[in-house]
Amino acid sequence: MTALALDIGATKFAAGLVDPDYTLRGVRRSATDSDDPWAVCRELLLAVAGDIPVTAVGIGSAGPVDVPAGVTRPLNLPRWRDGFAIVAHVQTLFPGAAVRFAIDGACLVLAEHRVGGLRGVDNGLALTVSSGVGGGIIADGRVLTGRTGNGGHIGHIVVPGDDTPCSCGGFGCVEAVAGGMSTVRWARAQGWTGDTGAELAAAAHQGDPVATAAMARAGTALGQAISSAAALLDVDRVVISGGFAHSGAPLWEPLRAAVARHARLEFLDGLTVELSDLADGATLVGAGVLAVEADSGNARMAP
Ligand SMILES: [Zn+2]
């Protein structure tokens, strides 16, 4: 069997071969800023596949998606914003292959569940906190994907006391408050002069008051969103990946304080929130899980 994984990210496409133990090989990446994103994807997939007959392809995509229709319409990919039939196109490229498709958050939680911090956990959340905030849910041992495959959009849980406009068109979403990009924007509006989330974290570590306040604002919002989601879903473990999640104590202390303050129901006593140990590219690993398990007939995953 030859399983392929494809990740349709906001700024990059990635593809690779997947071994039965979910290890990726021969990964290639391309920028998404093309007039013809499918041509870029096709080249990437064919280059990775080489001459080997492909038996399964797993696709993870930035959302929103319409999984029953096999259509992706990523917010940050203007050419596909009105919908692109990714599953049909990949199927045409590899007619004999099983093709599986899920949103990136579902792929992330699959990766955490099979090889990361949610191994052995039946009820958990995987979050990614980078420029934005995303995530996926494991409930009763299965990935919860919802009606259209968009389940797990934790970045758009509304946090109290904030009306910052969100990329989704709404206001006060945790992504709009606690995403790396929004946190930098907020700090700059308060007079901080850096440019990136990493610089902001470094400034907070050095005691810069605006950077510290920005990190506290982000960490608190994340802790509030996590507490809401944990109570709703009755989960006991949360793992957080993504570049901005690596900001250290200035982000994590307020986050943990907010969880301690808000997650008070008795059934949440054992709730743990930890930094993920998965490297970048967990979405591609999760897409690989889809492919391998399609190949092996493993039905543990819903989409
Ligand atoms: Zn939103």
pLDDT digits (tens, 9 = 90+) for 115-169: 999 999 999 999 999 989 999 999 999 999 999 999 999 999 999 989 999 988 9
pLDDT for 173-223, tens place per residue?
999 999 999 999 999 999 999 999 999 999 999 999 999 999 999 999 999
Give distance in angstroms: CA of 89 to centre of ligand 1. Answer: 30
Domains of the chain: 3-103+283-296 (3.30.420.40), 117-275 (3.30.420.40)
Give distance in angstroms: CA of 259 to centre of ligand 1. Answer: 21
Give distance in angstroms: CA of 226 to centre of ligand 1. Answer: 15
- What pLDDT is recorded for position 302? 44
Q: Give me the mean pLDDT over the 93-104 stretch.
A: 96
Give distance in angstroms: CA of 171 to centre of ligand 1. Answer: 6
Give distance in angstroms: CA of 135 to centre of ligand 1. Answer: 13
Exposure class string for 52-65: b at 16+ Cβ within 10 A, else e: eebbbbbbbbbbbb
Tell me the C-alpha to C-alpha distance, in Å, between residue 36 and each of 31, 104, 197.
11, 21, 31
**CA-CA-CA-CA torsion sign (242, 246, 250, 255):** positive
Strand, coil or helix: what is 146?
coil
Identify residues whose C-beta is under 5 A from ligand 1, the ion: 156, 166, 168, 170, 173
Strand, coil or helix: what is 280?
coil
Give distance in angstroms: CA of 18 to centre of ligand 1. Answer: 33
How high does pLDDT run on average in the chain? Answer: 94
Give distance in angstroms: CA of 85 to centre of ligand 1. Answer: 25
Strand, coil or helix: what is 97?
coil
Q: Are strands 56-61 and 3-8 parallel, antiparallel or unpaired?
A: parallel
Give distance in angstroms: CA of 108 to centre of ligand 1. Answer: 19
Sort residue 172 into left (φ over 0), alpha (ψ -120 to 50) or beta: left
CA 243-245-251 angle, to 5 degrees, is 135
Give distance in angstroms: CA of 17 to centre of ligand 1. Answer: 34
Q: Rg of the Cα trace of the chain?
A: 19
- Residue 11 pLDDT level (bands cut at 50, 70, 90): confident
Locus of tokens 């870029």: 40
Give distance in angstroms: CA of 241 to centre of ligand 1. Answer: 19
In this model, does residue 299 exceed pLDDT 50? no
3 beta partners: 18, 56
- State the distance between the two ends of the chain, measured CA to CA, in whole angstroms: 21
